A and B are shown apart, each in its own frame.
Chain A
């Protein structure tokens, strides 16, 4: 399962990052690392990008990019 499958209002935990190159480094440095909890807050009015809460701040990313973040549903 990847981050783009998570519906707004749900929580998930990062299990891996399959993005490449500079985006990968950026995602890691901004705190999306294995084991981190992500809360999917909402989708933009036109359905994309998505807004997530991670490590206490709000980040937006496109669904396309969210496909590169592997997650499992948090209990």
Chain B
């Protein structure tokens, strides 16, 4: 009984859908409303991120859905289709359209399209402070009257007005009254078209859609031929004395109306000052300074995450894990009289492995924090603008830069970020080369190996691996775009948003989301992996505990594949095993080396002697190159497949990586051995 009541409440729970342009503050509002109480998933059937969360409004639980940021409701991108279909469905009780009033003209275009969808709707006016600071003033009642929907001013970044917005939203049950946006002649023609569509939920949207697209408009496919013929005749009659192209009429008509609304509702400052954004851009996208600044920014990101601050935090974490937790557990188990097998499983198998991974948490958190700052401040878009020409030489788009940069953090979100590329060819190419950007999970391998074999030039060596990754990805892009992926580069239509101070809550939630994912991975997938590796290297095929791990199951598998790596200088079976474990997760490479070479302890001190016995410095460098290029981790492979939606290309990407890794490592080792 209780259960059915709970289910009923959930089914009847009002749903508020947030819709708006990119950069309008929609995500900020969503974060303000839901806090950490949000769930990130995917829209059914497509790879567009779906965020939802629960908010309590006047004692009532309400679900808030964050629709993808879009400029228009046309049907050309996945994001637009998702938003359009969802708004058209009966699911959302009310649409909240967030408008950046400092870019009122363009933002209102989507608003008019939403009004045509004829769903209960509220408009939230964000960034009023930017408008006021510019010296302009907006007459809110006039705007509300022109649009025919309730209008609520908010400051999403500080949470001002958001409670009021939610109250107005859940009270809004009415569909907007029919509006007349277009000039009389066009309006009359559209009304006639709407009538011919018959009984549909949003007749004006259908009429406008048919006017734009004609018979390719999806919703017209079910109409009888005589209706279509009559509609075509109406449009032809209208077009007889229209100078514009047919598919421009509706968009231009909406913008004409918007200009009129703005004329009535906005008082512009007589002499607009040069905006802060423009002043910053005079330096940041300056002909001479742009590229040095870009390099400086990239260096700063790298330095903060992997420099002294990151290293210090990592040291603190390592101390806590090794000297407090692991030592404590060891003592506890010993005094409780646990068997050596149990102690070995818990201390060497579980804690040592997971602990060595968790010590990289501070650096990963810092990296994601830096990337969110770049994104939220508006610099990311400038970086794409600056880099487009250069990346274009390699067959990539300026937008490819964002997934590539994120690749330094984690390949999984980086692959997902390739969604900003609209063209399939560009997306595919970007995804194929993103794994070569060295993700933060590969860092521990370089840190240990370079620390052991190149103690004087550790940083230089690590840096050279990163540079090699970038160079190899660009080279691959050039090769693949010429030989494998043919076709045109996608278009580059990108808004440069105003510079803003990042909202701390957004930064925190974004970083937390990534850190959480990492911890969950360490606690589940990696834990299982470490226990499995411990098992394989503690027992032999007849399930007897072995004295020497060389006799274990692991040892046998390792010895079987190890000869493949002999020409690369690291033919030891334990290294082969570490590389196999690295396919499950790159973090596992270091942990596995620790387990196999130094009884579970993965550090420069414990590994330097046993590793130096099996590898020369040239082989060590070749090993790092191999780790850089070979195969991304299971999570990244799964993401790659999900994003590419194509098994052939996924396998090609993996095969290409593996082959490149072998060949490049071979060359590096052979040349390195000569020096």
User: DSSP class of A's interface residues: helix, strand, loop or mixed?
Assistant: mixed
A56 to B109, CA, bound (A): 13
The total of chain B residues at the interface (CB under 8 A) is 41
What 0/1 readout, one digit per residue, does chain B (72-94) give for beta carbons within 8 Å of chain A?
A: 10101100000000000000000
Is A46 a contact of B390 with CB atoms below 8 Å? yes
Known: A26-B493, A33-B255. A56 touches B248 (CB 8 A): no
What 0/1 readout, one digit per residue, does chain A (26-37) give for beta carbons within 8 Å of chain B?
A: 111111011110
A64 to B265, CA, bound (A): 37
Which listed residue, B76, B104, B277, B389, touches A46 by the CB 8 Å rule?
B389
Is B76 a contact of A49 with CB atoms below 8 Å? no
A20 to chain B, nearest CB (A): 11
B258 to chain A, nearest CB (A): 9
A17 contacts across to B, CB distance below 8 A: 245, 248
Segment at the interface with A among B4-12, B26-34, B46-54, B283-291 = B283-291
What 0/1 readout, one digit per residue, does chain A (42-75) give for beta carbons within 8 Å of chain B?
A: 1111111101000111111110010000000000
A4 to chain B, nearest CB (A): 13
Interface status of A7 (Cβ within 8 A of chain B): no
Which listed residue, B74, B251, B388, B496, touches A59 by the CB 8 Å rule?
B496
A60 contacts across to B, CB distance below 8 A: 385, 388, 492-496
A45 contacts across to B, CB distance below 8 A: 285-288, 290-291, 386
Is B385 a contact of A51 with CB atoms below 8 Å? yes
Interface status of A23 (Cβ within 8 A of chain B): yes
Interface residues of B in 23-71 (CB under 8 A from A): 71
B490 to chain A, nearest CB (A): 9
Interface status of B491 (Cβ within 8 A of chain A): yes
Is B388 a contact of A57 with CB atoms below 8 Å? no
A47 contacts across to B, CB distance below 8 A: 389
Which listed residue, A22, A44, A48, A57, touches B106 by the CB 8 Å rule?
A57
A34 to B104, CA, bound (A): 20
Smallest CB gap from A21: residue in B: B76
Interface status of B422 (Cβ within 8 A of chain A): yes
Interface status of B230 (Cβ within 8 A of chain A): no
Smallest CB gap from B73: residue in A: A29
A9 to chain B, nearest CB (A): 13
Is A30 a contact of B389 with CB atoms below 8 Å? no
Is A25 a contact of B76 with CB atoms below 8 Å? yes
A29 contacts across to B, CB distance below 8 A: 71-72, 74, 109, 251
B494 contacts across to A, CB distance below 8 A: 59-61
Is A44 a contact of B491 with CB atoms below 8 Å? no
Smallest CB gap from A22: residue in B: B76
Is A56 a contact of B385 with CB atoms below 8 Å? no
A6 to B43, CA, bound (A): 42
A61 contacts across to B, CB distance below 8 A: 491-494
Interface status of B260 (Cβ within 8 A of chain A): no
Interface status of B546 (Cβ within 8 A of chain A): no
B284 to chain A, nearest CB (A): 10
B422 contacts across to A, CB distance below 8 A: 22
Is B291 a contact of A33 with CB atoms below 8 Å? no
A65 contacts across to B, CB distance below 8 A: 491-493
Is A62 a contact of B388 with CB atoms below 8 Å? yes
Interface status of B219 (Cβ within 8 A of chain A): no
B385 contacts across to A, CB distance below 8 A: 44, 49, 51, 60
Is B389 a contact of A44 with CB atoms below 8 Å? yes
Interface status of B247 (Cβ within 8 A of chain A): yes
Interface status of B558 (Cβ within 8 A of chain A): no
Known: A28-B251, A51-B385. A16 touches B245 (CB 8 A): yes
Is A49 a contact of B390 with CB atoms below 8 Å? no
14 further A-B contacts with Cβ under 8 Å, apart from A26-B72, A58-B495, A59-B493, are A22-B76, A22-B77, A23-B493, A25-B72, A25-B74, A29-B109, A34-B244, A34-B252, A43-B287, A46-B390, A51-B285, A56-B105, A56-B106, A58-B497
Binding site for B on A (CB under 8 A): 16-17, 22-31, 33-36, 42-49, 51, 55-62, 65
Complex A-B, nearest 9 residue pairs according to Cβ-Cβ distance, in ascending order: A46-B389, A29-B72, A22-B76, A33-B252, A58-B496, A28-B251, A45-B290, A55-B105, A57-B103
